Each structure stands twice: as structure tokens, then as C-alpha cells.
């Protein structure tokens, strides 16, 4: 096994919904792979499977014949939707180990000609995993990464978390070195961060052996969906100032990313939009470039 990579595992998490977790996982992940030629694995552990739907739409995949047929009809220009059997389900159920490496295709879908892979989410995940012992579910991602030496195969493993607190969240955090917290510039957004910090402390203290040789560090807060024009408006600026000066950031020494993630309405309109592939040269592209560089810097510094 080569020592080529020393992969880092990073969860995108906030117990608040709709703050940009999925969008940032996808955009930062794609830029790392596409332009910066890093080996990237995305993991969709959110039962809403938004990340999976987006990646499947961009690269032409579906999980079943029925869905492939539907997608072929909807996108009449593209009649070659491919079917993949890769699914997070096989990871959570512990179906794959290094004793049978061919089985890894049942978890990881590698996008051809890209250094990008994804462990797709699964519709009905709660139903599928309902009989699993919560301990084995919570250890499953950690075990999968270790047993298959994935830190040697990827530079970055990015996990898109659900907005709820569940065994899925615990599974993601237990496997992670870092977590990134997207927040919207809203009055009570830091309450969610406070709650998340408590959850992380709890997970660390109840799983000490897992964190004996490594941390689970807050990489920083990213303020999302900031409108370029509103940046000049005192309302948003005040909210950003409030976040900067909040007790929770100062008290815990949590970093705030210098760059905020700018609003781009194409992200809402088009599930297949990718900033790194777009011609948004004025705002979004330089913004994603700067954000991704910050992200790389902090994961390198430790």
C-alpha cells in the first residue's frame, strides 16, 4: 500500500437545516478534484440524498432501472444514464471489508476521468437501517475508512451530514478529523453552533478510544448565502459582526472563515450547476477559489 495520500476526513454539519451544507460539500469537493486535481471522496449520509441527486444529475447516474428510465426521458438529450449499485447502505450495514475488495464498487462510485468519487445516499435509509444496532451503525463509516485504507486513497473525504441529530450524525463525526459549520447570517444562528459544540463534546467524551490519537476539531464557521450587494448593507454586516463577536466563537476560539460563501441564484435554480464549471468569473468563481484555498490551508495547518 503506497503512502501517497494522508487523507483528511471532514464533516459538513449544522443541526440547522438549509444553511448550505450540501452545496458547500459539493462545490468545495468538486473544485478540489476538478481544478486542483486532488483525490476526493464525497459521502452522502443524509437520508434526503440531495448531494447524491445533484452528482447523479451532473454525471448521468441512477440507482435503479426505473430511475434511469425516468432520467433518460426527462433529459431527452442524454439517453445514456448509467446504473450504479454503489450505496451508503452497504457501508452502514458493514457489508464491505478488505477481504473482498471487488465489493468496494457496492459502496464507492468513481466518476470516470475525474479524481472524484461518491458514496451515494439511499432513499429510505431510515427504513433500511432500522434494525441495525446503533453501535455498529455509529462505527460503520470509521470502520469502512480504516478497513479499506481510504486515507491512502484520497486526499479529502467530505461527509455531507443531515440537519438532524441521529446515529448518522454520530457515524459521520466519529469518522472525522474536522468538521466545518456553515451558518446563515441570521439572528439566532450561533445557538445552533453552541448546541453542535455540546454534541461534539459528548461524542468525544463517550468515544475516547476513537479520539486517542487524533482530534475532532472545528475547522471553522463559514457564513453562507451572503449577497454581494447586501455586504454593503448594515443589516448583514451587523449580523456578521455579531457572529464574529459571539461568546461561543470567542470563548471556544472557533475560527470564522475570512471568506463568506456568496449568494448565487443559479445554485437554487439548477441542481446540476457547478461553480467551478461555470463562467461566474466576477463573484462566485473567485469566491469559491478563495474559500477552497482557506479550507486547504486550515486542514493542512491542523
Ligand X SMILES: Nc1ncnc2c1ncn2[C@@H]1O[C@H](COP(=O)(O)OP(=O)(O)OP(=O)(O)O)[C@@H](O)[C@H]1O
Which region among 13-21, 28-36, 132-140, 248-256 touches ligand X (by CB under 6 A)?
13-21
Residue with cell 443531515: 162
22 interacts with ligand X by CB under 6 A: yes
134 to 173: interface string for ligand X, x by CB under 6 A: -----------------------------x----------
Confirm if 42 and 118 have CB atoms less than 8 A apart.
yes
Q: Which CB atom, from 81 or from 291, has the smaller least distance to Mg ion?
A: 291
225 interacts with ligand X by CB under 6 A: yes
Residues that bind Mg ion (CB under 5 A): 21-22, 50
Binding residue count for ligand X, defined by CB under 6 A: 20
**Closest among 185, 287, 178 to 236, alpha carbons compared:** 185
264 interacts with ligand X by CB under 6 A: yes
50 interacts with ligand X by CB under 6 A: yes
Of 224, 246, 259, 299, the one binding ligand X (CB under 6 A) is 224
Residue with nearest beta carbon to Mg ion: 22
Of 7, 20, 47, 185, the one binding ligand X (CB under 6 A) is 20
Confirm if 111 and 103 have CB atoms less than 8 A apart.
no
Q: Where are the beta strands (DSSP E) in 23-83?
A: 40-44, 61-62, 82-83
53 interacts with ligand X by CB under 6 A: no
Region for 19 from its dihedrals, namely left if φ exceeds 0, alpha if ψ lies in -120 to 50, beta otherwise: alpha
21 interacts with ligand X by CB under 6 A: yes
**Closest among 259, 264, 267, 263 to 293, alpha carbons compared:** 259
Q: Which CB atom, from 81 or from 180, has the smaller least distance to Mg ion?
A: 180
**Least distance from C-beta 184 to ligand X, angstroms?**
9
**Least distance from C-beta 27 to ligand X, angstroms?**
8
Exposed e or buried b for every residue in 142-180, given b needs 16+ CB within 10 A?
A: bbbbeebebbebbbbbbbbbbbeebbbbbbbbbbbbbbb
User: Which entry of Mg ion, ligand X, none binds 135, CB below 5 to 8 A by partner kind?
Assistant: none
CA distance 60 to 18: 25
Of 7, 9, 13, 23, the one binding ligand X (CB under 6 A) is 23
CA distance 174 to 151: 15
Which region among 15-23, 168-176, 206-214, 215-223 touches ligand X (by CB under 6 A)?
15-23
CA distance 196 to 176: 15
Which residue ranges make up the site for ligand X (CB under 6 A)? 17-23, 46, 48, 50, 163, 224-225, 261-265, 267-268
Amino acid at each position: 500500500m503506497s503512502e501517497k495520500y494522508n487523507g483528511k476526513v471532514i464533516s459538513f454539519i449544522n443541526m440547522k437545516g438549509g444553511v448550505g451544507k450540501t452545496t458547500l460539500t459539493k462545490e468545495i469537493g468538486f473544485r478540489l478534484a476538478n481544478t486542483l486535481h486532488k483525490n476526493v471522496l464525497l459521502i452522502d449520509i443524509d437520508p434526503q440524498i440531495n448531494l447524491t441527486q445533484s452528482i447523479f444529475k451532473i454525471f448521468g447516474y441512477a440507482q435503479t432501472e426505473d430511475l434511469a428510465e425516468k432520467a433518460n426521458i426527462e433529459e431527452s438529450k442524454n439517453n445514456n444514464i448509467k446504473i450504479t449499485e454503489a450505496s451508503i447502505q452497504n457501508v452502514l450495514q458493514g457489508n464491505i471489508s478488505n477481504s473482498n475488495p471487488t465489493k468496494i464498487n457496492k459502496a464507492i462510485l468513481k466518476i470516470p476521468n475525474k479524481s472524484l468519487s461518491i458514496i451515494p445516499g439511499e432513499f429510505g435509509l431510515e427504513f433500511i437501517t432500522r434494525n441495525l444496532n446503533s453501535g455498529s451503525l455509529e462505527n460503520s463509516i470509521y470502520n469502512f475508512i480504516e478497513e479499506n485504507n481510504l486515507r491512502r486513497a484520497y486526499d479529502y473525504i467530505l461527509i455531507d451530514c443531515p440537519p438532524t441529530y441521529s446515529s448518522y450524525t454520530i457515524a459521520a463525526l466519529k469518522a472525522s478529523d474536522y468538521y466545518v459549520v456553515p451558518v446563515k447570517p441570521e439572528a439566532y444562528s450561533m445557538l445552533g453552533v453552541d448546541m453542535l459544540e455540546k454534541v461534539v463534546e459528548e461524542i468525544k467524551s463517550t468515544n475516547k478510544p476513537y479520539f486517542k490519537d487524533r482530534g475532532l476539531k472545528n475547522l471553522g464557521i463559514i457564513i453562507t448565502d451572503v449577497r454581494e450587494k447586501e455586504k454593503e448593507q448594515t443589516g448583514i454586516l451587523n449580523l456578521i459582526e455579531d457572529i464574529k463577536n459571539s461568546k461561543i466563537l470567542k470563548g471556544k476560539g472557533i475560527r470564522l472563515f475570512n471568506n463568506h460563501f456568496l449568494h448565487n441564484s443559479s445554485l437554487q435554480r439548477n441542481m446540476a450547476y457547478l461553480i467551478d464549471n461555470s463562467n461566474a468569473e466576477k463573484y462566485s468563481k473567485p469566491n469559491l477559489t478563495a474559500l477552497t484555498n482557506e479550507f486547504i490551508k486550515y486542514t493542512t495547518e491542523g
